[in-house]
């Protein structure tokens, strides 16, 4: 599993001209599933993300978590995180999970985060999405 996390002031994802998900302060997560990923990977990364302390406290030290600041998650499925560009000029996606399993784990991840008390908005699996965000910092992390 690969997740690109961006701390944002706001973010949204649009499909066919309609907003499918929109948040204010929080994290935009680009969410990719590999062929060997499991529900345990979802739980481990979700717990890590929810508890990461990357928001500034009153002393301007990065010391607060998503829960501490009442932030939200916008989770966007993105299989292209598994692109392999080492050979040739056209990426291959051999290491990406199958669409059905990737969608199942995407749904599992988002529900797990909701069960942990997080507000979660999403993109639409398999759709052509337009993502807008205001990166705060910028602060971007890659989690695997």
Which residues belong to the active site?
Answer: 78-80
Spatial contact of 32 and 39, defined as CB atoms under 8 Å apart: no
d(CA 22, CA 44) in angstroms, rounded, equals: 25
Q: How distant is the alpha carbon of residue 94 from its chain centre?
A: 21
Q: How distant is the alpha carbon of residue 20 from its chain centre?
A: 15
Spatial contact of 47 and 67, defined as CB atoms under 8 Å apart: no
Torsion of CA 73, 50, 32, 9, to 10 degrees: 40
């Amino acid at each position: 599993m690969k997740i690109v996390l961006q701390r944002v002031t706001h973010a949204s994802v649009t499909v066919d001209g309609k907003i499918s998900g929109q948040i204010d302060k929080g994290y935009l997560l680009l969410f990719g599933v590999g062929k060997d990923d499991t529900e345990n990977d979802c739980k481990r990364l979700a717990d890590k993300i929810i508890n990461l302390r990357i928001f500034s406290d009153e002393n301007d030290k990065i010391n607060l978590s998503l829960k501490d600041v009442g932030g939200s998650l916008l989770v966007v499925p993105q299989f292209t995180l598994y692109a392999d560009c080492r050979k040739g000029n056209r990426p291959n996606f051999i290491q990406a999970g199958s669409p059905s399993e990737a969608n199942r784990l995407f749904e599992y991840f988002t529900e797990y985060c909701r069960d942990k008390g997080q507000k979660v908005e999403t993109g639409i699996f398999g759709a052509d999405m337009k993502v807008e965000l205001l990166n705060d910092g910028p602060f971007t992390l890659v989690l695997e």
